[in-house]
Chains A and B, each alone.
Chain A
Amino acid sequence: DGGITQSPKYLFRKEGQNVTLSCEQNLNHDAMYWYRQDPGQGLRLIYYSQIVNDFQKGDIAEGYSVSREKKESFPLTVTSAQKNPTAFYLCASSPPQGGRTEAFFGQGTRLTVV
């Protein structure tokens, strides 16, 4: 089945730890995105990538890092510099020029700081 897979579904982080969220897609999409969603809020763009080995900061990139070594993978690291990381994280992919086409979303990772 084609789709986009995020793991894990739930993640707990201690203060001061870095954690990495996985996002894999087999849709052969060039573009991939990471969004953050807080309760009752919309989605805010963290990072996006249009091509392998290239990525751009979104609106709230501080405290996060990404890599795009393979077309199908776009992992997100939440670093200790992110002061309020508890949130629901959504990964999406689309054909090139993602603002012109439908986006496909994973099921999300809920990150909680303990």
Chain B
Amino acid sequence: SQQGEEDPQALSIQEGENATMNCSYKTSINNLQWYRQNSGRGLVHLILIRSNEREKHSGRLRVTLDTSKKSSSLLITASRAADTASYFCATGLASGGGADGLTFGKGTHLIIQP
């Protein structure tokens, strides 16, 4: 079953602006990850944040996690045309030892206008 729900479903911004997308989930997690998917391609891992972390940075990416609200946000700063893609959050559940892998949301489609 899909645990994560991204918001918004689609986002269009001008190049150079910041893009923020959100993810909400339902059950206790071990970690939350963000992936990018270019049209018709596989997913590429961007960043992983564990349940005991609140914020993490990687280059132009900033991820926050609020376990009390069961939500996460992904901020992409100084957006570029190459950032145009779909972005998915994925959760690893706290129970089960992680054997069944990750549960993905439906994604946010981000368009960067030149």
Contacts and interface: CB of A to CB of B under 8 A. Distances in A.
A40 interface: yes
B85 interface: no
Interface residues of A, number: 32
Interface of A: 6, 31, 33, 35, 40-45, 48, 50, 56, 58-59, 88, 90, 92, 94, 97-108, 110
B101 A42 contact: no
A68 to B, nearest CB: 14
Contacts of A105: 35, 42-44
B92 to A, nearest CB: 3
Contacts of B35: 105
Nearest to A41: B106
B96 interface: yes
Contacts, number: 85
Interface string B67-109: 0000000000000000000001010110011111111111100
Contact of B107 (A33, A42, A108, A110): A42
Chain B, interface size: which category? Answer: 20 to 34
A45 B30 contact: no
A97 B92 CA distance: 9
Given A42-B105, A59-B1, A99 B99 contact: yes
B100 A56 contact: yes
Given A42-B106, A42-B107, A99-B96, A104 B45 contact: yes
B56 to A, nearest CB: 13
B100 A99 contact: yes
Contacts of A58: 100
Contact of B40 (A6, A41, A97, A108): A108
B27 to A, nearest CB: 12
